[in-house]
Chain A
């Protein structure tokens, strides 16, 4: 996971929004891109963790009562 993500602006941002089925007014896009980059950058710091076979901290309880 060493490659950096592309900056989320222009065509990249347009395509991500299209895949997410989220239509936004064009004037929102310049403000959105940098925040997407910030959150991606934050989450990418998790690459530093050696997760091995660690399961997610979620569980499902199959009992009915």
Chain B
């Protein structure tokens, strides 16, 4: 089930480990960046995580960071560490394709808000990671899973998940409209946080669905995710979804433990159809948290039959609205799986879209009521591990088949529709050696709480210390 390895090369360091060494001047940003670039050169031909490796820009940024730190101008934990960014996010002067032939030559003039924040924190942007085309899917066909190259890395932020898992960066940014941070996190064995809707600005990020899009970090530890959130969270008038809510220090509660916290455990929906190995690992993780002092309460998930209708009722027409002109001008350049959904969205009624938005209101109210007395809800991130490349559907124990995309979005969509913060942390492996994720869903803007829970679980286990063995 992977290897537990003591880091020996700089690229192997987690974000907070690298940050500590840089702060103590035991490691230079240039040394780290060159090591990471070497790692990418060694393994990315097989993994395919990157659309663009920003070698020259990264080395320049690392030299700048090195000089600033030497001059006493240390900016904080992201200063000089290597971060990858999903290719949906604009990077000034750097190709930004959304992994689509329709944008094969697209070079934006400005940076996305998140890229601005990362660079202001001193991060070295190492490259742009592959997405399922325009984030509209869960496969990321350009990319393979570092734990087993015959399996998918999930999506749509599959390049980010694979890059983090294969140690080709210290952290990455993904987007999540129907699970696209949490899905690759779970199947690639990384930590992934979909923050509260409105916590992180999407300015400069290609939209899939304005109502459901979120940006968040993928990392090799909960601590690392908290450090990235400190840099990227905050209000931005240019993104009308963001809320002017005070931004906490996301690292402050990481060692507070879970004693006396109350967790809801769904008796329906999340556990209705899933791989027995996943169920076993997730239930063991929940019991482990109870053993650390948390109280468990069974909860009934409201409106279990209406998440997928509401999710697709909103996402499909919004995506088609965004792509309306391009579909007519360069429709042949879209991949067929994306193109057909964009065409379907053109044929949906406005009343159906608004009905889905009204359903979202009911779902939000239902979760607010369900959350009475709870600090978080614990659930499987996904009902299955990474699909094999070319596998179209999972077969559940009762013989029912479910398409891979439906399976992965089913347990992810509640987080998008409610907008609640949802963290995926590794909680085990299948017999075949593929990672499994535990999902921790919190109250609105309670990112510190879900990170606290994830950190407590991570500290009590060694799942996050394991690494793919086959890439060395």
Contact = CB atoms under 8 A, between A and B. Distances in A.
Given A45-B306, A49-B306, A39 B348 contact: yes
B362 interface: yes
Interface string B325-347: 00110010000100011011011
A42 interface: yes
Contacts of B347: 8, 16-17, 20, 36
Contacts of A56: 354, 357-358, 360-361
Contacts of A42: 308-309, 312-313
A26 interface: no
Nearest to B357: A56
Nearest to B309: A45
A51 B357 CA distance: 11
Contacts of A51: 355, 358-359, 362
A46 B355 contact: yes
Contacts of A49: 303, 306, 358-359, 362
Interface string A2-22: 000000100000001100101
Nearest to A63: B237
Nearest to A13: B347
A21 B384 CA distance: 40
A22 B340 contact: no
A64 to B, nearest CB: 10
Give chain A's interface residue range (CB within 8 Å of chain B). Answer: 20 to 34
A60 B305 CA distance: 29
Interface centre among A42, A56, A57 (most CB of B within 10 A): A57
B328 A46 contact: no
Contacts of A16: 347
Contact of A46 (B340, B348, B356): B356
Interface string B109-146: 00000000000000000000000000000000000000
Interface string B287-314: 0000000000000000101101110110
Contacts of B273: none
A8 B182 CA distance: 34
B358 A32 contact: no
A22 B328 contact: yes
Contacts of B312: 39, 42-43
A22 B346 contact: yes
20 contacts: A22-B327, A22-B328, A24-B343, A31-B340, A32-B340, A35-B341, A35-B344, A36-B347, A39-B344, A42-B309, A42-B312, A43-B312, A43-B355, A46-B306, A46-B310, A49-B358, A49-B362, A51-B358, A56-B358, A57-B358
Q: Which 7 A-B pairs have the closest CB atoms?
A: A56-B357, A57-B360, A45-B309, A20-B346, A43-B313, A57-B361, A16-B347
Interface of B: 211, 237, 240, 303, 305-306, 308-310, 312-313, 316, 327-328, 331, 336, 340-341, 343-344, 346-348, 352, 354-362, 364
Given A23-B328, A58-B211, 7 more contacts: A36-B344, A42-B308, A46-B352, A48-B305, A48-B306, A54-B358, A65-B237
